[in-house]
Amino acid sequence: MKDKSTVYVDLHVHSTASDGSFSPREVVIKAKSRGLQAIALTDHDTVDGLEEALAAGKEVGLEVIPGIEISAEHEPGSMHILGYFIDFRNRRLAERLQVLQRARAERNPQIIAKLRRLGIDITLEEVAAVSGSGQMGRPHIARVLLNKGYVADLHEAFERYIGNSGPAYVRKFRFPPQEAIGLINDSGGVASLAHPFTLQYSSIQHFKMILGQLRDWGLVGLEVYYPEHSADMQETFIRLAEEWGLLCTGGSDFHGANKPGIELGQVRQQRFMTYKLVEKLKAKLGRKI
Ligand code: AMP
Ligand code: FE
Ligand code: FE
Ligand code: ZN
């Protein structure tokens, strides 16, 4: 980190509870040792890592914001909704997330079957061994393909086989955006649109329309600071956030070894990633309750 006098935050982090390579506890210890002041653990479609992360945060003196990243229905790109300060023990949230877990449990064997039909020797047991105790998904399938020499890196696994236009792709069940945002709000949290560029909108005008709709459904933030956002994109997103009255959020989308080259706390423009972002989110929270 360049400026030692400023402490930074990372509001988009994954652990082994979804598809990161470090356990929730390891992520927290790593964040602390990198000098971060707060992180949000935002595993895909699960809150299973939060208890461990919060306990570790208390232990080492790092603020851990209970979060989640929920995949929502969207074409042609992908839409992920981040939730912050959720009550992760909320019963309804747990029930709805169960629906997503069950859909995953059905989808993984379908992907494996497609790969096997393509002549690849891969089993569900091998993928389960790689995913450990966390939820299983395509990154773990990619890891097995890599380990067995079918691809040279994880990216190739998606390009050649299991990516959205690959021959072994199987669609994942998702909630409509309105439900994903509602679920976060109903469990006491605030929602922010993750890495907006993955929506693959046709124009900024089109994106503005989507954003306005999401805001009407209760979105309060836009993930402006992100490793893959150029300075220009960042400027555009800041402007749109202002226009729609949304808060700016940011994070590295750290996945450890499962997303090489991305460090905890790392975005394009570090200087904006201060605790101010968290304070603003907290203020929104206060107004909601
Ligand atoms: P799943 O939830 O099982 O559909 O897996 C989605 C996850 O796969 C994403 O969150 C990323 O971590 C990873 N992923 C998706 N596309 C790619 C890609 N092209 N290269 C590497 N990882 C990817
Ligand atoms: Fe991921
Ligand atoms: Fe995401
Ligand atoms: Zn993510």
Beta strands in the chain (DSSP E): 9-13, 38-41, 63-72, 79-84, 190-193, 221-225, 247-250
| Number of helices followed by number of strands (H, E) in the chain | 10, 7
Q: Is 172 in the pocket of ligand 1 (CB under 6 A)?
A: yes
Q: Provide the CB-side half-sphere exposure for 154 (13 A, CA).
A: 14
Q: What is the pLDDT of residue 279?
A: 95
* Ligand nearest to the CA of residue 142, numbered in listed order: 1
| Residue whose CA lies nearest to ligand 1 atom number 14 | 139
3-state secondary structure of 215: helix
Q: What is the pLDDT of residue 60?
A: 98
The ligand 1 atom nearest the CA atom of 154: 21
Residues with pLDDT less than 70, the chain: 1-5, 287-289
Closest Cα partner for 35 from 275, 276, 283, 289? Answer: 275
Say how many Å lie between the CA of residue 265 and the centre of ligand 4: 13
Q: Is 154 in the pocket of ligand 1 (CB under 6 A)?
A: yes
Q: Is 19 in the pocket of ligand 1 (CB under 6 A)?
A: yes
Distance separating alpha carbons of residues 232 and 248, to the nearest angstrom: 15
Q: Is 14 in the pocket of ligand 1 (CB under 6 A)?
A: no
Q: What is the pLDDT of residue 270?
A: 78
Q: What is the pLDDT of residue 7?
A: 81
Q: What is the pLDDT of residue 9?
A: 97
Mutate to test the pocket of ligand 1, among 19, 101, 151, 169 (most ligand atoms within 8 A of CB): 19
The ligand 1 atom nearest the CA atom of 141: 3
The pair of structure tokens assigned to 49 is 């890592």
Under 8 Å between Cβ of 67 and 82: yes
Residues 6+ apart with CB under 8 A from 149: none
Q: Is 96 in the pocket of ligand 1 (CB under 6 A)?
A: no
Q: What is the dihedral of CA 55, 59, 62, 65, to 10 degrees?
A: 10
Check residue 199 and report its DSSP letter.
G
* Ligand nearest to the CA of residue 67, numbered in listed order: 4
Angle of CA points 231, 72, 66, to nearest 5°: 75
Q: What is the pLDDT of residue 5?
A: 54
